[in-house]
Structure 1
Amino acid sequence: MGFHLNIMNYRKIRSVDFNPDGVCLLVGPNGSGKSTLLSAIELLRNTFERGFDTAINLAGGTWISNLDLPDRPTIFKIETSDLQWELNIANSICLEKVTQGDFVSPHGKSQLKKLYEGLHYSIESQKFENFIRILTQYRNYHDYELWQLRKAGSQAGSESELQSRGQNAFSVLRNWHTSKPLRERYEFVINGLREAFPQFFDDIDFESAGQTVTIRIYPPHSDIPVPIYFASNGFLAAMLHLMAVCSAPDGGIAGIDEPENSLHPYAIKMLIHAFRERAEEKKLTVLLATHSPFLLNEFKEEASRVYVMEQNQDEQLVRLDKLRDTEWLKYFSLGDLYGNEFGRQETE
């Protein structure tokens, strides 16, 4: 489905105009704004659900402006084919505009939520539903709690979406397994793990103790289960990445920060293949913030889906095929060029 995101003057971001689709990479030096970009969509989701004041506190506090642009307003604008929502923040006051309406200053509850709840319902119902569903089910996945999962499992619950740090993974996976409508998500995860770890993994089963759910792993050609405690960080991370992509609704968005951590290049290759299949089938946008040369090499034929955070460009986020000639790029591995021909760390 795709979406259009415009951000101006938000923390590390000076100006971003972003229209991704499918599986996309975000690359650039440390501190250039990749993680900030992924978290900005989360800020918009929380603003809808809880109001801007609460959302900005959840995002780390009231420091909001880029240090180079202290006197300019902060602007967020997110748009799908159905709807546009804009926030304009200046002097700690947040104004909102929905599609063709006027800017208003909501108190507490966001203007978008007031419209959605029917106080001033003037937008076609289905279009509104699609926009809100995509916004509210966005998750920015990062800093997974792997040790907690390995040691203590997940709290049993009824959720059908993975939390941003993966705490509820085993409970959600069991819920997918036992739900006929969601069973295909479980099968996608299991098949993806078989592809990524062919010598180690074939299947799982679930164990419960009180309100806790955990899993055991079955290696290929074995009936002897291995407790998840003994699984590698890479295996657990790969499971959560696959679940993250499955948790997005049709036409939705998922962000994963540094998905390459703890993973062998073969596993990365298999995960990207699985992400692309899922994104094409479900019309997803999957945003991967990375420094991995190997992951970049998987996008050699898709330079239009590599977005580079450039520190000295007026427009901070530049598509790689706009930054370098695509015919020239074909002669190189993108991972060899990263940090030299694009995504350089500036020293002055």
Structure 2
Amino acid sequence: MGFHLKITNYRGIRSVDFNPDGVCLLVGPNGSGKSTLLSAVELLRNTFVRGFEMAINMAGGPWITNFDLPDEPAIFEIETSDLRWELKIPADSSVGMEKVTQGDFASLVGNSRLKSLHDRPDPDIDYQKFENFIRILRQYRNYHNYDLWRLRKSGSQADSQAELQNYGQNAFSVLRNWHTSRPLRERYEFVTDTLREAFPSFFGELDFESAGQTVTIRIYPPGSDTSVPIYFASNGLLSAMLSLMAICSAPDGGIVGIDEPENGLHPYAIKMLVNAFRERAEERELTVLLATHSRFTLNRFKKEPHRVYVMDQKEKEQLVRLDNIRDPEWLKCFSLGDLYGNDFAIQEGYSETGGAE
């Protein structure tokens, strides 16, 4: 389905104009703004769901603007389902001013405009498209820094949630809820089927265990009746499980961001995960944003350089599609992972051969 995002003067981002669709990669040097971009959509989500002041606090506090433009406002525009929402935050982060536009309709500029229109719909707005915009925004998640140690040691608190939380701490409870729900069981099967493909020598099936209000799992290797406590499972398997659950938690037509999904994974497992992400994204019309440094992940996009976005602090427009940086015909001659850090996304302070200067 895709969406359009414009960001000006937000922390590490001076200017980004972004129109992704399907499974896309964000690559670039450390500190170029990849994680900041994923968190920007989360800031918009929290502004609508929790209010502006809480959203600012959840985003790390009142420092909002870029170091190079400390006195200019931060501006965000997100558009999908034919509706555009603009949020402008002054340098002192005192209040967020909003404007909502759809077709010939344009709201007055003020605070909490999107929330006000949701609570009291305007007759000039296409309400079905408006509700779809809200649904996609409300269910955006930015997945990063999975809490693998807590999952191993303490499991998940049992509850009725059907979506994975940002750090994955409710994973085992959500997975059990999917397993026992007829409408959601396909999510469970998608996760376990992909894990079998990605870890053919270790993962065959899983089972749930409960103690009080805690849920955990045990892994059964292929062809074995002996289970392995999740405490002893590899970080890669746990991380892959959570990333697959992240994709399944997104609504149809939705957006999901995952920061460094390749952590702990063998190249074969990365291949299987990217294939699964693409399959799910095509089936459910998802936009999946993957921030990565993995050369193996990049290699999976050799035929889709238009879905690789390169962030560079030195450029005026910080986010550029790879096929606009290098000739697509030239790119076909190489593995993208071999070019990363040398022919594009070069880390400042390193030579063209990849060594420290």
TM-score tier (shorter):
over 0.9
- Tell me the equivalent position of 1:70: 70
SS of residue paired to 2:106: coil
Q: CA deviation at 1:119?
A: 5.7
- Tell me the equivalent position of 1:168: 170
SS of residue paired to 2:96: strand
- Tell me the equivalent position of 1:79: 79
- Tell me the equivalent position of 1:265: 267
- Tell me the equivalent position of 1:5: 5
Amino acid at match of 1:105: G
Q: In 1, distance between residues paired with 2:119 and 2:189?
A: 36
Q: CA deviation at 1:101?
A: 2.0
- Tell me the equivalent position of 1:291: 293
Does residue 246 of the first structure (1) align with residue 251 of the second (2)?
no
| Deviations 1:140-195 (CA, angstroms, capped at 9, x unpaired) | 00000101101110000000000000000000000000101101000000001000
Q: Which runs of 4+ in 1 moved over 4 A?
A: none
- Tell me the equivalent position of 2:61: 61
SS of residue paired to 1:307: strand
| Deviations 1:117-149 (CA, angstroms, capped at 9, x unpaired) | 126454222111110110010100000010110
1:77/1:86 contact within 8 Å kept: yes
Does residue 343 of the first structure (1) align with residue 348 of the second (2)?
no
Q: In 2, distance between residues paired with 1:22 and 1:213?
A: 33
Q: In 1, distance between residues paired with 2:269 and 2:275?
A: 10
Q: CA deviation at 1:340?
A: 1.2
SS of residue paired to 1:64: coil
Taking the TM superposition and a 5 Å limit, the aligned residue runs for 1:313-328 are 313-328=315-330
Taking the TM superposition and a 5 Å limit, the aligned residue runs for 1:171-182 are 171-182=173-184
Amino acid at match of 1:73: P
Q: In 2, distance between residues paired with 1:121 and 1:143?
A: 43
Taking the TM superposition and a 5 Å limit, the aligned residue runs for 1:1-348 are 1-91=1-91, 92=93, 93-99=95-101, 100-106=105-111, 110-118=112-120, 120=122, 122-347=124-349
Amino acid at match of 1:13: I
Aligned residues: 345
1:34/1:309 contact within 8 Å kept: yes
Q: In 2, distance between residues paired with 1:103 and 1:89?
A: 16
Amino acid at match of 1:46: N
| Deviations 1:1-35 (CA, angstroms, capped at 9, x unpaired) | 10000000000000000000000000000000000
Higher alpha-carbon deviation: 1-10 or 63-72:
63-72
Q: CA deviation at 1:94?
A: 1.7
SS of residue paired to 1:123: coil
Q: CA deviation at 1:346?
A: 2.1
Amino acid at match of 2:6: N
SS of residue paired to 2:142: strand
Q: In 1, distance between residues paired with 2:82 and 2:106?
A: 14
1:114/1:120 contact within 8 Å kept: no
| Deviations 1:44-92 (CA, angstroms, capped at 9, x unpaired) | 0000011112101100010011111123221100001331100112243
1:83/1:127 contact within 8 Å kept: yes
Amino acid at match of 2:186: E
Q: In 2, distance between residues paired with 1:212 and 1:121?
A: 47
Unaligned runs of 5+ in 1: none
2:107/2:113 contact within 8 Å kept: no
Aligned CA RMSD, in angstroms, stands at 1.2
Unaligned runs of 5+ in 2: 351-357
1:293/1:335 contact within 8 Å kept: yes
Q: In 2, distance between residues paired with 1:201 and 1:163?
A: 24
Higher alpha-carbon deviation: 97-106 or 281-290:
97-106
SS of residue paired to 1:280: helix
Q: In 1, distance between residues paired with 2:127 and 2:264?
A: 44
SS of residue paired to 1:177: helix
